[in-house]
Amino acid sequence: MLYPLKFKPIYKTKVWGGDKIRRIKNDSKVPENCGESWEISGVQDDVSVVANGFLKGNTLQEIIEVYLEEVVGDKVLEEYGYEFPILLKIIDAKENLSVQVHPDDETAAELHNARGKTEAWYILEADKDAKIIDGFNRDTTERELLQSIQDGNLEEMLKYHNVKSGEFYFIPAGRVHGMCAGTTVVEIQETSDITYRIYDYNRGNRELHTQYAVDVIDYKKNDKKSIDFSRIPDHSNQIVKCKYFTANYLPVMNSLLKDYSNTDSFVIYHCVHGQVNVKTPNGEEVLNEGETILIPACIDEVVLIPMKYSELLEIYMDLDENQPRKYDEYDIDTLQRQRKGTAENTDTGTKYKC
């Protein structure tokens, strides 16, 4: 019987990384210059491993292969097969990240046999005068962009936002963007690790990908600002809803029953502040600040009991019934037949029946 799942964070050292993730995670094992903590990942070669319960030591993909729609939901399984569709990270920028862009799904599939990357940022912490780059401050062209890179004045055409804790930004594929020094975010994104760098602040030891980037960039001026959303206590306040994910801001002051019986999806909670006991009919876990937990789709009711005032990000999929399937080879009846019997994790020897 599936239960709330915690995972071992995957820490990534970066040239621009700092020490805030070590403090946020309260984990002495976080390496120096840690730029990213991958909280939940289905990215090939970086798939999350369960850290709690009888499935401890099994990967997220292995669990999906066995439990199928009980983990992710029927529609998600039909659309994504064994691939978990969301990558959730904490990112700490002690120095500027590169100015970059991500391809859309079609381009990524054609060039890299991968998914594109639409993403969103919740600002966890921001130093004084911290900024992000979010598109262009005026309409431009490929030719003008390339000339500005050559002349060293790209930054003059970029749109900067001064940011503060609690803000939320949506960054679709094709939008030039970057985190500047002093910014720490929770990043919600498609399961993809495809990034095209176009400018790296003269850090000459890292490859640029301008030849790919120019074909996917949206050259129009970006008039968008941070997303304005409600902050009603004990309520799921919707921040963004797109075909790749829905993200809500959920402040918890009192014990709260969440009914997911009409949600055909897993649910992810990330605690940005406080501490919450996550209680379900199949088990309970304490969710500390900086931690992430996955509620499998087969769990319909969750009780959130705050140890103190807490703030969560609530993330799930909301796929349109009429949305075409991308992967016809994932026939749900076949997958369900394959699930019969016992699966074994060869690394841990853990066996589990379905």
Give CA separation, 235 vs 133, 250, 253, 336, in Å: 31, 6, 10, 35
Domains (range + CATH), the chain: 10-213 (2.60.120.10), 237-316 (2.60.120.10)
pLDDT at 205: 81
| Residue pLDDT, tens place only, 267-284 | 999 999 999 999 999 999
pLDDT at 325: 38
Q: What is the pTM of this model?
A: 0.90
Nearest CA among 288, 231, 278, 228 for reference residue 257: 278
Which residues are catalytically annotated? Answer: 197
pLDDT at 203: 86
pLDDT at 337: 45
Q: Which two tokens stand for residue 333?
A: 């009846």
| Least confident piece of the model among 81-90, 157-166, 193-202, 324-333 | 324-333
pLDDT band at 204 (very low <50, low <70, confident <90, very high): confident
> What is the arithmetic mean of pLDDT over 222-239?
97
Residue identified by tokens 């030591």 is 57
Q: Which two tokens stand for residue 346?
A: 């060869």
DSSP string, 107-160: HHHHHHSS----EEEEEEEE-TT-EEEEEESS---HHHHHHHHHHT-GGGGEEE
Q: Which two tokens stand for residue 156?
A: 């003059």
- For residues 121 and 169, is the Cβ–Cβ distance under 8 A? yes
